[in-house]
Chains A and B, each alone.
Chain A
Amino acid sequence: MTYVLTGEDKPLTGFGALRAAVSSLDPRMRIVMTVIYAITVVALDDLRVLSGALILSMWLLAISGLPFQKTLKRMAMMDGFIIFTLILLPFTMPGTPMFSVFGFDATWEGLWRATEIALTANAVILAVMTLVGSMEPVTMGHALFALKTPERLVHLMMFTIRYIDVLREEYLRLRTSMKLRGFRPGTNWHTYRSYGYLVGMMLVRAIERSERILAAMKCRGFSGRIVLLEEFRLTRTDVMFAGAMALALAALIWAEVAYAAA
């Protein structure tokens, strides 16, 4: 489903010629370790330690088998969204002035804070994308269910995953038919009304589709239970990987404490 956003033909899953190290690990362990990793990194403050965390995330990316450039590009897209807030920070935080633009003082403290946010955000999102994002979406649903996520929430997520592609295609069909009728978007009431009708039509079709889905599921005796097709097993490799991650996190925390004391 990843290509929804990029328009590329293949999802970013790690099935290459090389069997990637990460994709053979237990999905449940990957999710748990990612959450622990994220919480730890968010708690870190020291820029040197955060750089270490980012390097760790890069290493995860390297062993995940995800396409290097594409994943980093996606990360850079997120940076594009936050860059505005980050640029503002040096000017809004009080502290030692660095230089001034139009009478506004930029401070070193603000610059450090901005760098800290950028490092944290990138380290965490990279780890999330490599450890969890490299899973098949359905596997993620099953793993979340195995980790005691409420059954209905998992169902809802699986339906969403399943139908994103279908509805994306429907959206593109509707856009094509609009184009055929000579629609050209611009800044005017006609455009906004047409887009509104487009969204409305998508909702109407979605609800009608869901009625057919429900009928088909009832016909097959759907009872609301999630049937797991594969059983997850924690292997020795999983334990070793989790141990290595825990060790790396412990090292990061130790470095943070050591730098704070120094």
Chain B
Amino acid sequence: MHIVDGALSNPVLLGGAVLAVGGIAMGLKKLPLERIPAAGVLSASFFVASLIHVPIGPSSVHLILNGLAGLVLGWAAFPALFVGLLLQAVFFGFGGLTVLGVNAVNIAGPAVLAGLIFGRLVARGTPMQGAIWGGIGGGFAIAVTTLAVAFSLALSGDEFIPAAKLVFVAHIPVIIIEALLSGAAIFLARRVKPELFAGSKGGWT
């Protein structure tokens, strides 16, 4: 899901950077000092969770879980996921520097969107209902991310359009797995610690 330096055109890079700054500012505004330890620890756990490789047939995929991050953190998912991307670029060499803005928008944007749309639904009703909405939210976020990646490639040049289409098709199994996993994770969290979610009373927002 990471785009590297050199592939995108300058207007796309600039647009991504501007949007990312806006998203980070918005996220930080919704993040009082009291919440920073929780956001930091959750950001770290999403970082670790993204290293889990889930088997699928003979191959395996690694998780992104941006939808789950959005459901739990709300707007704060934007800076939290941005930090993860920054650390990945700097210390692991994944992604790049000038594309950091675009990557943040592509991954954190859908996370926040999923949080805004499904956040309340996940926290309401029985754990099972919450889990179903959570699964939909998780799948939704990763689907939007894939589309956004394809879109930013296509905006940069027509030569990328076939690649962009392939990226989307190749990610359909990932979307399904992310949805199943997010749903299961939310089912457990709803039963054990219902106040985890952004939409719940006394939780985030």
Contact = CB atoms under 8 A, between A and B. Distances in A.
B117 interface: no
A41 B4 CA distance: 13
A100 interface: no
Interface string B43-57: 111011101101111
Interface string B112-136: 0000000000000000000000000
A192 B177 contact: yes
Interface in B17-62: 24-25, 28, 31, 33-34, 36-45, 47-49, 51-52, 54-57
B147 interface: no
B36 A155 contact: yes
Interface stretch (A14-22, A117-125, A251-259): A117-125
Contact of B24 (A89, A153, A155, A192): A153
Contacts of A24: none
B155 interface: no
Contacts of A129: 90-91, 93
Interface in A176-221: 185-187, 189, 191-204, 206-211, 213-214, 217
Contacts, number: 263
B160 interface: yes
Nearest to A120: B6
Contact of A124 (B13, B47, B97, B186): B97
- Looking at chain B's contact residues, the main secondary structure is helix
Contacts of B47: 4, 160, 164, 167
A103 interface: no
B40 A117 contact: no
A35 B4 CA distance: 15
A21 B177 CA distance: 46
A168 interface: yes
Interface in A133-159: 133, 137, 140, 150, 152-153, 155-159
A193 B91 CA distance: 31
Range of interface residues on B (Cβ < 8 Å): 35 or more
B42 A206 contact: yes
A51 interface: no
A252 B1 CA distance: 31
Contact of A203 (B90, B167, B185): B185
A5 B7 contact: no
Contacts of A152: 28, 31, 33, 36, 79
A5 B24 CA distance: 26
Interface stretch (A74-82, A227-235, A236-244): A74-82
A38 interface: yes
Contact of A42 (B13, B56, B87, B95): B13
Contacts of B40: 155-160, 162-163, 210
Nearest to B58: A187
Interface in B170-186: 177, 180-186
A207 B42 contact: yes
Nearest to B195: A207
Nearest to B177: A192
Contacts of B180: 189, 192-193, 196
A193 B131 CA distance: 11
A163 B44 contact: yes
Interface string A48-76: 00000000000000000000000100110
A183 to B, nearest CB: 12
Given A159-B37, A159-B40, A194-B184, 19 more contacts: A12-B91, A39-B98, A41-B5, A89-B160, A92-B159, A92-B162, A121-B7, A125-B4, A133-B93, A152-B33, A153-B83, A155-B33, A159-B39, A163-B40, A164-B47, A191-B55, A192-B54, A199-B63, A214-B37
Task: Give me the 8 closest cross-chain CB pairs, A-B, nearest first.
Answer: A159-B40, A196-B184, A120-B6, A200-B188, A200-B185, A163-B44, A121-B4, A210-B38
